[in-house]
């Protein structure tokens, strides 16, 4: 007799919880189907009734981890804030949440960083989604006259380089004590007040030279 779908979904949620516990307690090396099955009190064969591969289970864990961050981005995009304030909120709300996660357990945070590095292809879609939403904010800003001389892709690349430490958990982990909302606000102001395609002299030499 087939297992009811509600039971399958409940089992999947429970398994995600077990994987989260393993990650936070023992790191990514502990995330094996054998260890997960043991934590769940089932055989590895039974585990495959819920997820047909380790990759599928890790992808579900990634969705669980990213879901509140995606909800934050969607809420900011749907708001009627002006572009400058919207860009700040776009980064600040996620940053404050992730900083709280780091403060709660820096070791667990580092374990998530390692797991993300090992499974980057499984989380790439969330990076791309962030770029998609950032492009929407940039489009609104361009309509107001900002970022003259740049196309959207150029602006995304430059802004990502300027703000990466506030959303990239690998970079964030290294310098978390130095990051703050006040500094982020100044970065966003610098982006809006100065970023353009104009050559203002910084590279206006024929070759690099010592001062």
Q: What is the pLDDT of residues 112-159, one digit of tens each?
A: 888 888 888 888 899 999 999 999 999 999 999 999 999 999 999 999
pLDDT at res. 192: 97
- The span from the CA of 22 to the CA of 20, in Å, is 5
Listed residue (138, 170, 167) closest to 152, CA to CA: 138
Instruction: Count the alpha carbons within 13 Å of 90 in the hemisphere toward its beta carbon.
Output: 27
Contacts of 55 (CB under 8 A, 6+ apart): 119, 122
Q: Is 96 exposed, middle or buried (0-12, 13-18, 19+ CB in 10 A)?
A: middle
Q: What are the structural domains of the chain?
A: 5-47 (1.10.10), 63-194 (1.10.357.10)
| Model pTM score | 0.87
pLDDT, tens digit (0-9, with 9 covering 90-100), for 83-122: 999 999 999 999 999 999 999 999 999 998 888 888 888 8
């Amino acid at each position: 007799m087939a297992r009811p779908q509600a039971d399958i979904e409940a089992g999947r949620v429970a398994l995600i919880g077990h994987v989260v516990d393993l990650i936070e307690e023992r790191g990514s090396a502990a995330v094996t189907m054998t260890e997960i099955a043991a934590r769940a009190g089932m055989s590895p064969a039974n585990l495959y009734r819920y997820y047909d591969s380790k990759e599928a289970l890790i992808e579900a864990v990634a969705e669980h981890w990213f879901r509140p961050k995606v909800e934050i981005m969607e809420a900011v995009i749907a708001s009627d804030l002006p572009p400058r304030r919207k860009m700040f909120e776009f980064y600040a709300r996620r940053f404050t949440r992730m900083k709280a996660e780091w403060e709660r357990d820096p070791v667990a945070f580092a374990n998530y960083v390692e797991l993300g590095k090992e499974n980057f292809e499984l989380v790439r879609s969330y990076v791309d989604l962030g770029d998609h939403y950032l492009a929407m904010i940039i489009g609104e800003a361009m309509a107001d006259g900002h970022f003259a001389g740049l196309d959207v892709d150029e602006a995304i690349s430059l802004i990502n380089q300027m703000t990466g430490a506030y959303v990239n958990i690998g970079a964030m982990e290294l310098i978390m004590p130095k990051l703050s909302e006040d500094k982020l606000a100044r970065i966003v102001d610098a982006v809006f007040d100065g970023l353009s395609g104009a050559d203002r002299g910084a590279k206006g030499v024929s070759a690099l030279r010592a001062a």
